[in-house]
Amino acid sequence: MFEPTTYVGLDLGGSRLKLVDYRQSEDSFERVGSFPIGEADEMLDCLDSHLSELAGRKLAVSGIGIGVPGLLSPKGEVLYSPHRPELIGIELATEVASRTGIWPVIWNDAACAAAAECVKWGDRSVLVANFGTGVGSAMARSGTVTAGGSFAFGELGHTGRYSKARCACGRIGCFEETIRVMLPMGVDDDSELHLTSKSSYGDAVELIASVLHDLVLVLDPHELVLGGGLMARLDQIFEDVSVRLLAELSEHRRPISVRIHKAIADEYSGAMGAALLAARRVGYE
Ligand SMILES: [Zn+2]
């Protein structure tokens, strides 16, 4: 007999797709894998083969959640995605539904990562900042992702004017583009991200800490989570940014200092949160 309690969560990054299964009846996750993805439509092929595999195991899928790096319309159309330009203008939800028969829940990838943190932090507020191919951030409060007017509350990637570099979004000096220039990332033979140069490492740590300090003061979260491939793979930058950020706080703010953590499921947090949103285990407002 089919057990209709499996939700599939996908997180499409700049170079890889993370995939998890969430079994709602047991409230448990299975990390299916991390797959190199060239063009975004390979994600749909990957999803197809995973659904076939689940059907072979007599596991019915009740929902699909997808995190994508970009700005989405309420209908699930990708409006803007510097790292996945091939998705722009595509009604991804319609495409997935026509192939799978399931209308998916599609969210910005940072918001999905914030949804995953809801499981751990309950009614506390948590700000998530992810550093990988791009920079993304989002917030959750009381176990609910904060949507904002355009489902992008707390997003800092395309703010500021920190350099003269032109960002993929068209602006000059965005935080994301400035960090990308300071900390150039490469993709190795396994499509894993790594730093290709640390020549501006100190400046990058300083800038990240300074920008996060300001965001923490504006949004006042109980917890700050530093996620994404860069933070998951390089303990040093997580430690250095954390120390620098706390040092940046003024003396009167230190006693109520924000607590800084790594992501709940490292690079699988986005996929985990996407599945939780699909299962309505985590909501939004
Ligand atoms: Zn930008």
Residue range 218-254, pLDDT digits in tens: 999 999 999 998 898 889 999 999 999 999 988 887 7
**pLDDT score at 14:** 82
What is the reported pLDDT for 1?
Answer: 55
Distance 100 CA to ligand 1 centre (A): 34
Give residue 109 CA to ligand 1 midpoint distance, Å: 16
Spacing, Cα 164 to ligand 1 middle (Å): 12
| Interior angle at CA 135, CA 153 and CA 118, nearest 5 | 50
Instruction: Please give the class, per CATH, of domain 6-108+268-284.
Output: alpha beta
Separation of CA 43 and ligand 1 centre (Å): 25
Class of domain 112-266: alpha beta
> DSSP letters along 217-262, please?
HHH--SEEEEEHHHHHH-HHHHHHHHHHHHHHS-TTTGGGPPEEEE
Of all helices (H) and strands (E), which one includes residue 161?
A: none
Q: Do domains 6-108+268-284 and 112-266 have the same CATH topology?
A: yes
Cβ < 5 A residues, ion ligand 1: 158, 167, 169, 171, 174
ipTM greater than 0.90, yes or no? yes
Among all chains, which residue has been given the structure tokens 């209908």?
A: 75
pLDDT along the chain (285 residues), means of 10: 80 92 93 91 94 92 94 80 86 92 94 95 95 93 89 92 93 95 78 74 96 94 94 91 93 81 94 96 90
Cα 116 to averaged position of ligand 1 atoms, centre (Å): 26
Report domain extents, the chain.
6-108+268-284, 112-266
The confidence score (pLDDT) of residue 162 equals 97
